[in-house]
Structure 1
């Protein structure tokens, strides 16, 4: 009897690539598989191939769910409704679906694309896992595939420039896998994440590396082209990589005709040819540099990733590794100490004539009191304060803050409104020294895995997409026009501090409570690290976005004084040269 005979595996994003390879391994080992994805044709082709691999004498089946986007609540719910109505028991759920997302500096990343990437990678993993519980039984396994470009070891970050929504999603997925191991213990369901590292795939070679190389060209401009012209050219040229010489020549000529705008056609054609060659050269260099961080200099094959996933589904191995994030990437990636505890001490800055803006999404009274403490700290040292309070903040907290400081109730989830109010503050109060965003705390819930989809979406918005929305507005405020011309970022000044969410405090804090908070901290850590690497190393800017995480693993109360000291450091000259961009100010370790 084959190892997975009479078992059922559901693999998301399984029409092509790693997902298809995993489905293949399951079938070869006797399992029935459920494959799903957005595109019907690849799934149908994969199904035919899988049916041909069913071992002789084994009564396995291949089932397709086409047109299912893991981020689509109704599509996923409907699929699991159908499985439940058919009395299907799923033994293994493999969260594999993913997209590259925007490959560009965060300041230039469309927020809709940011949200879409988070929706597919993180929310798709959450909702798929939660809905799968309806058709799973004790002994079931949830295996989540994430990336090595998030955290290498506890408290170390791997920034992945130009991939901020991707890294935020992946960091949170790692922590979500850990959380599910806590919350699903009573159901007997095991949760493990694995980071396979660099894998041979068209997505890397044809999308990620070329787009990253193209972004380097956009940031600096190329020959006679401005960043906007480089961007327009890239959109025409990237698809030509890997094509036959005659196709490339025709494509370049067509792009030159389309984008000449009155310039000399022959000159533009030569420039575009040079640009494409440069992009290919950089992409190949990135690939080579990554391979040199691996002992044998080899990326994994998709079949090897599939083999590792099936090993994690082994009953005994899964019990040992429940709740773990397996760093199976084999990559030695040198990292700076991006995370610290208390910030370095600095002389108290004089804020006279400078404005500090608070964007507030408070959850409880202690959040409002934190805003009060920090705003008084600014005013006491000569600064001016404006508080923009989210409409979703409870009314009594809105009134508490508004009664003490110049405040407006706004929709901080709306980028246009954020930009408008930042402009108003800059006009009425003077040049903005820094922006402090308060996320508020995680609401008390017994289990995140028991939340409705609407409740989960609210948390994603509160702790991931809203901080990103505010951050992008802040960057545009500090560098007007920087999105279109990133050269404007060079030597610019500015600071933003994201505070929260807090670890729970008290003597009887549970592992589940800490793990819930870590899901969202797990998004903000790599997000902050990635954006700051872009600002410092790529854009040559002195603007910094810091994350401050109050509370400690021992359950001690957070100190607003330490957060105030962190802001003092953030707006000092020392901050721009610091590799540390996330501070757990109440931790002593």
Structure 2
């Protein structure tokens, strides 16, 4: 009997690539598979191929769910309801679906694409796992595929420039896999994440590396092209890359489309040189990555599939439940990015400067923190404005508004955030820093028992809203910098994201800490990635820090240490700091 005979595996994003390779390995080992994705044609082709690989004498099947986007609540609900009504028991859920997302500096990344990337990678993984519980029994396995770029080593967080929403969602996925292992123990269901490292795929060769190279050219400039012109041309030009060269006719058509009165022949020549440079740089990126691997070889998709099936083995899965594995094959040398207390600096004079607080408070302790920090700024000569989220409890809104210049606004709306930041600059003065407080994670019992609306609220509160505020703050510091990265050179500014806190108390559980870490796990790689872009790519002196209050042992957070972090953030020393995430209450 084959190892997975009479078992059923559901693989998301399985019409092509790694997902298809995983489905193939399951079929070859006797399992029935359920494949799904947004596009019907690749799924049909994959199903035909998979059916041809079912071993002789094995009663396995291949089932398709086409048009299913893992981020689509209704589509996912209907799929799992169908399986439940058919009496299907699913033994293995493989969370594989993903997209590249915008490959550009965060300042230039459209927020709708940011949210879409989070929706597919993180929410798709979460909701797919939750809905899968309808058709899983004790002994079921949830395997989540993530990326090595978001896994931390001691005092280190790996940046992945131009991929801020990707890193945020992947970092959260790793921590989500851990949290689910705590929450699903009573159901006897195992949760494991795997970070396979670089894998041979069309996505990485035809999309990620060329787009990253094109972004370097947009930032650094190429001949007489403006950054906007590179941006407008890059997608069409990347379509002109062929297996055996380039599509010269396609390049000419791109030049004709974007000429706008310029000499088409000359622009065609310029675009041809630009594409050659993009290809050269993409190859260099690939080569540099391969040299961080001992044997300088990316994994094959079939090797990833083999590792996933190994994780589904009962004995191995029991050992690895709640783990994020493997410790990837890539030696990725980076400076330390995670610290404890910030370096001490002389108390800065905030005179004549404005510090903006955007507040998404959960409870009274959050409002007391904002009051303490705002008072700290005012005592040292600064001016304060507080923009309080509409979702903040009324009594907290009134408490803050009674002491500081405040407005209740929709901080999830980028246009509204930008408008209020501009108003503050006009009425109060130059904006020195924007400080966003996420508030604490509300008591949720189990994440896996949340409604979809409840989950979406948490993602908005702890990931999307901080990103929205941060991007609008960058636009405040460098007007027009998203489209023209040259404006960032030597620009100054400071952004701080505070929270979420670790739970307080001697009896805090592993489940409670793991839940908070899902959202901290998003903000760590996000902050690190954006800072690398700001410093190494854009050559600015703007810095964004994350501050995570509380301790793993349940200790009370100290707001004075956060005030010290503000002092450091606005100092000249911050611009050269490699540490950008501070667990200010930890001593380790």
Do both share a fold (TM > 0.5)?
A: yes
Alignment of 1:123-134 (within 5 A): 123-134=123-134
Alignment of 1:462-477 (within 5 A): 462-477=461-476
- Which piece of structure 1 moves more, 320-329 or 150-159? 150-159
What residue in structure 2 maps to residue 489 of structure 1?
488
What residue in structure 1 maps to residue 283 of structure 2?
284
What residue in structure 2 maps to residue 74 of structure 1?
74
Unaligned residue ranges in structure 1 (runs of 5+)? none
Superposed displacement of residue 252, structure 1 = 1.5
Looking at structure 2, the residues matched to 87 and 484 of structure 1 have their Cα atoms a distance apart, in angstroms, of 53
Superposed displacement of residue 244, structure 1 = 4.8
Superposed displacement of residue 336, structure 1 = 1.2
What residue in structure 2 maps to residue 527 of structure 1?
526
What residue in structure 1 maps to residue 221 of structure 2?
221
Superposed displacement of residue 199, structure 1 = 0.4
Superposed displacement of residue 318, structure 1 = 0.3
Superposed displacement of residue 203, structure 1 = 0.1
1:17 aligns with 2:17: yes
Secondary structure of 1:36's aligned partner: strand
1:242 aligns with 2:252: no
Looking at structure 2, the residues matched to 270 and 69 of structure 1 have their Cα atoms a distance apart, in angstroms, of 40
Looking at structure 2, the residues matched to 105 and 452 of structure 1 have their Cα atoms a distance apart, in angstroms, of 33
What residue in structure 1 maps to residue 265 of structure 2?
266
Are the equivalent residues in 2 in contact too, given 1:24–1:53 (CA < 8 A)? yes
Looking at structure 1, the residues matched to 232 and 430 of structure 2 have their Cα atoms a distance apart, in angstroms, of 34
1:63 aligns with 2:63: yes
Are the equivalent residues in 1 in contact too, given 2:89–2:135 (CA < 8 A)? yes
Looking at structure 2, the residues matched to 548 and 565 of structure 1 have their Cα atoms a distance apart, in angstroms, of 11
Secondary structure of 1:35's aligned partner: strand
Looking at structure 2, the residues matched to 282 and 161 of structure 1 have their Cα atoms a distance apart, in angstroms, of 15
Which whole-Å deviations, capped at 9, do the CAs of 1:129-161 have from their partners, x for residues lacking one?
001011101110000000011124254211000
What residue in structure 2 maps to residue 370 of structure 1?
369
What residue in structure 2 maps to residue 537 of structure 1?
536
Looking at structure 1, the residues matched to 433 and 15 of structure 2 have their Cα atoms a distance apart, in angstroms, of 47
What residue in structure 1 maps to residue 432 of structure 2?
433
What residue in structure 2 maps to residue 336 of structure 1?
335
- Which piece of structure 1 moves more, 521-530 or 147-156? 147-156
What residue in structure 1 maps to residue 37 of structure 2?
37
Looking at structure 1, the residues matched to 199 and 241 of structure 2 have their Cα atoms a distance apart, in angstroms, of 20
Distance 1:26-1:6 versus aligned 2 partners, 3 A rule: same
Looking at structure 2, the residues matched to 62 and 441 of structure 1 have their Cα atoms a distance apart, in angstroms, of 44
Report the TM-score, using the length of structure 1 for normalisation: 0.99
1:478 aligns with 2:468: no
1:171 aligns with 2:171: yes
What residue in structure 1 maps to residue 26 of structure 2?
26
Secondary structure of 2:385's aligned partner: strand
What residue in structure 2 maps to residue 142 of structure 1?
142
Superposed displacement of residue 234, structure 1 = 1.0
Secondary structure of 1:386's aligned partner: strand
Superposed displacement of residue 587, structure 1 = 0.3
- Which piece of structure 1 moves more, 324-333 or 312-321? 324-333
Which whole-Å deviations, capped at 9, do the CAs of 1:10-58 have from their partners, x for residues lacking one?
0000000000000000000000000000001000100000000000000
Superposed displacement of residue 243, structure 1 = 4.8
What residue in structure 2 maps to residue 196 of structure 1?
196
Are the equivalent residues in 2 in contact too, given 1:240–1:248 (CA < 8 A)? yes
Looking at structure 2, the residues matched to 507 and 205 of structure 1 have their Cα atoms a distance apart, in angstroms, of 50
Superposed displacement of residue 503, structure 1 = 0.1
What residue in structure 1 maps to residue 2 of structure 2?
2
Looking at structure 2, the residues matched to 31 and 328 of structure 1 have their Cα atoms a distance apart, in angstroms, of 28
What residue in structure 1 maps to residue 90 of structure 2?
90
Aligned pair count reads 588
Secondary structure of 1:422's aligned partner: helix
What residue in structure 2 maps to residue 50 of structure 1?
50
- RMSD of aligned C-alpha atoms? 0.8
Distance 1:65-1:218 versus aligned 2 partners, 3 A rule: same
Alignment of 1:562-573 (within 5 A): 562-573=561-572
What residue in structure 2 maps to residue 306 of structure 1?
305
Which whole-Å deviations, capped at 9, do the CAs of 1:487-546 have from their partners, x for residues lacking one?
000000000110000000111000000000000000000000000000000000000110
Are the equivalent residues in 2 in contact too, given 1:198–1:329 (CA < 8 A)? no
Looking at structure 1, the residues matched to 108 and 285 of structure 2 have their Cα atoms a distance apart, in angstroms, of 21
Unaligned residue ranges in structure 2 (runs of 5+)? none
Looking at structure 1, the residues matched to 243 and 3 of structure 2 have their Cα atoms a distance apart, in angstroms, of 43
Are the equivalent residues in 1 in contact too, given 2:240–2:248 (CA < 8 A)? no
1:355 aligns with 2:323: no
Secondary structure of 2:239's aligned partner: helix
What residue in structure 2 maps to residue 402 of structure 1?
401
Which whole-Å deviations, capped at 9, do the CAs of 1:413-437 have from their partners, x for residues lacking one?
0000000000000000000010110
Secondary structure of 1:319's aligned partner: helix
Secondary structure of 1:454's aligned partner: helix
Are the equivalent residues in 2 in contact too, given 1:197–1:328 (CA < 8 A)? no
Which whole-Å deviations, capped at 9, do the CAs of 1:80-100 have from their partners, x for residues lacking one?
001100111100000000000
Looking at structure 1, the residues matched to 187 and 156 of structure 2 have their Cα atoms a distance apart, in angstroms, of 32
Superposed displacement of residue 66, structure 1 = 0.4
Superposed displacement of residue 328, structure 1 = 5.0
Report the TM-score, using the length of structure 2 for normalisation: 0.99
Which whole-Å deviations, capped at 9, do the CAs of 1:192-216 have from their partners, x for residues lacking one?
0000010000000000000000000
Superposed displacement of residue 263, structure 1 = 2.0
Looking at structure 2, the residues matched to 39 and 263 of structure 1 have their Cα atoms a distance apart, in angstroms, of 39
Superposed displacement of residue 446, structure 1 = 1.2
Secondary structure of 1:149's aligned partner: helix
Looking at structure 2, the residues matched to 208 and 33 of structure 1 have their Cα atoms a distance apart, in angstroms, of 29
What residue in structure 2 maps to residue 579 of structure 1?
578
